[in-house]
Amino acid sequence: MFPIIHWNLFSLESLITLILVVLIVVDILLPKTERKDWIGTLSFVGLLGLIGFWLTQRNLVGETFGGMFIMDSLAWFFKGFFLVAMVFVFVMTQQFFKSLGSRRNEFYLLLWLAMLGMCLIASSADFLLLFISIEILTISLYVMTAYLKSDKHSLEAGMKYLILGALASGFFLFGISFLYGATHSTRFAAIEQYVSTHSMNPMILFGLVLIFSALGFKIACVPFSLWVPDVYQGAPTPVTALLSVGSKAAGFVILIRLFFGIFSSWHGQWHLVLAGLSAVTMCYGNLAAIFQTNIKRLLGYSSIGHAGYLLMGAAAGSVLGASAINFYLLGYLFTNLAAFLVIVLFFITVKSDEIADYAGLSQRSGLLAGVLLLALVSLAGVPPLAGFFGKFILLLATVQSGLVWLAFVAAINIVISLYYYLIVVKRIYVDKPRTTSPIPVSLSMRLILVVLIVGIVGIGIFQGPFLEAAMTAVKGTHL
């Protein structure tokens, strides 16, 4: 019998593919000398249209392709997350590659491909589809990381990311084969059923460890985070932003499906492991960040620290823990993208990412300094900003699950992270600028920055609706 395919469940991904194809055709037809950024404009319009379409999919639930592809509230939440993040990444790309001319068109196409991969990840209900989606995302990221082919940092970053990423993919496939060997299926539902009726056995354990190490690569948790500082520093800044927000969130949606869905009946066995990883990850990220002199590298280590905080929610293993992860990512999206957009705009004029060059930024551009200040203190977890409430519910979930020691480790880390964020703040606001020439910010960029500020402050003050959205996202799953 041939299975029926519910195309409406798959419509968002179909549309992304369609737009991608149209853009390729437009790119071929356009004369190469065309200076105007047609692909960028079309991409932007297409993306806004897609967000509108995504809103209509709110109550769409079901599975298709024989259970390989599911659409539920979690998938819906994260697809929206990726689309919104992409809006800002497109803006950054448009600014960052102004000087690259027609070569930037291919970059947009790669971004669309990455987005397709992320949306598929959110809907995967089968390890094979999951593997393919991760590869779609990761391969486009390899290319984008090494995109500045005359910059040796970019090439180095691309190489590092490729080698470690390929290794992670290998682990992932190897892990899947073990799971298949034990359960005779790659389908999430089938494995979940097997897990709920069996106790832990070495074969599954081995498979799980291998799969987790591949995930650890995506979310940047210790010890799989070695690539982070170099790649964050070397990659073009829009790619860094995508890595830190999109790719990390994609890792966490898989983590939620895995540990809160498939393996949830073994919670007792894995939650201490996750708690330990969480503690080590946040300490490593935050301590190493203290010594950084490059802002992208600093945010790279800080992103490892944040992976550690997010893992607390996974270690908690409760509905609140999963909701906390979702909420935290939501705040992290606006906060981190705001920081990276400032870095892009700063780089365009000053051509530097060194923290020393940020000295006296407040006197060169009050807006850029203000946005970076808000982003940094929000990352540190200061109210009334988004990062504070995210940390608050993560701590709440952790304490509720009895991991009080982990909450204390997190508290120490919050103080450490405040230290290095405040050092950057000090540079921006207290130190004397080397030159007082103002840094121009166009009107459209001002608007985007204000949108990001509203996001950071709005989520931080009116936490209720966002928390409820984060909670409904996990309610539809098997929790």
Question: Least distance from C-beta 385 to another protein, angstroms?
Answer: 10
Q: For residues 342-371, which are near another protein according to CB under 8 A?
A: 362, 366
Q: Give the interface segment with another protein, choosing from 4-12, 92-100, 177-185, 466-474 (CB under 8 A).
A: 466-474
Q: Give the interface segment with another protein, choosing from 135-143, 165-173, 351-359, 416-424 (CB under 8 A).
A: 416-424
Which residue from 239, 344, 424, 467 is in contact with another protein, where contact means CB under 8 A? 467
Q: With binding defined as CB under 8 A, does residue 472 bind another protein?
A: no
Q: Which residue has the tokens 């590869």?
A: 135
Which residue from 85, 382, 386, 448 is in contact with another protein, where contact means CB under 8 A? 382
In this structure, the number of other CB atoms found within 10 A of the CB of residue 198 comes to 13
Q: With binding defined as CB under 8 A, does residue 432 bind another protein?
A: no
Which residue from 30, 200, 267, 383 is in contact with another protein, where contact means CB under 8 A? 383
* Residue count, binding to another protein (CB under 8 A): 32
User: Residue 224: helix, strand or coil by DSSP?
Assistant: coil
62 phi, psi to nearest 5 deg: 155, 180
| Residue 342 or 425 having the CB closest to another protein | 425
| Residue 112 or 466 having the CB closest to another protein | 466
The size of the chain, in residues, is: 479
Question: Least distance from C-beta 450 to another protein, angstroms?
Answer: 11
Q: With binding defined as CB under 8 A, does residue 415 bind another protein?
A: yes
Q: Give the interface segment with another protein, choosing from 84-92, 114-122, 168-176, 420-428 (CB under 8 A).
A: 420-428
Q: With binding defined as CB under 8 A, does residue 298 bind another protein?
A: no
Which residue from 388, 403, 424, 473 is in contact with another protein, where contact means CB under 8 A? 388
Which amino acid makes up residue 137? Answer: L
Q: With binding defined as CB under 8 A, does residue 476 bind another protein?
A: no
Question: Least distance from C-beta 384 to another protein, angstroms?
Answer: 6
Which residue from 30, 169, 429, 458 is in contact with another protein, where contact means CB under 8 A? 429
Which residue from 400, 433, 451, 469 is in contact with another protein, where contact means CB under 8 A? 400
Interstrand relation of 69-71 and 62-64 (parallel, antiparallel or unpaired) = antiparallel
Q: With binding defined as CB under 8 A, does residue 377 bind another protein?
A: yes
Which residue from 71, 222, 330, 414 is in contact with another protein, where contact means CB under 8 A? 414
Q: Which 8-state DSSP code applies to residue 71?
A: E
Q: Which residue has the tokens 């790309």?
A: 93
Q: Give the interface segment with another protein, choosing from 52-60, 115-123, 236-244, 464-472 (CB under 8 A).
A: 464-472
Q: With binding defined as CB under 8 A, does residue 186 bind another protein?
A: no
Q: With binding defined as CB under 8 A, does residue 418 bind another protein?
A: yes
| Residue 79 or 391 having the CB closest to another protein | 391
User: Residue 126: helix, strand or coil by DSSP?
Assistant: strand
Which residue from 396, 451, 469, 479 is in contact with another protein, where contact means CB under 8 A? 396
Q: For residues 195-234, which are near another protein according to CB under 8 A?
A: none
Q: Give the interface segment with another protein, choosing from 7-15, 112-120, 223-231, 467-475 (CB under 8 A).
A: 467-475
Q: Within 317-442, where are the H helices? A: 319-350, 361-364, 366-380, 386-400, 404-429
Which residue from 425, 452, 456, 474 is in contact with another protein, where contact means CB under 8 A? 425
Q: With binding defined as CB under 8 A, does residue 473 bind another protein?
A: no
Q: For residues 110-149, which are near another protein according to CB under 8 A?
A: none
**Which residues contact another protein (rule: CB under 8 A)?**
362, 366, 377, 382-384, 388, 392-393, 395-396, 399-400, 404, 407-408, 411-412, 414-415, 418-419, 422, 425-426, 429-430, 463-464, 467-468, 471
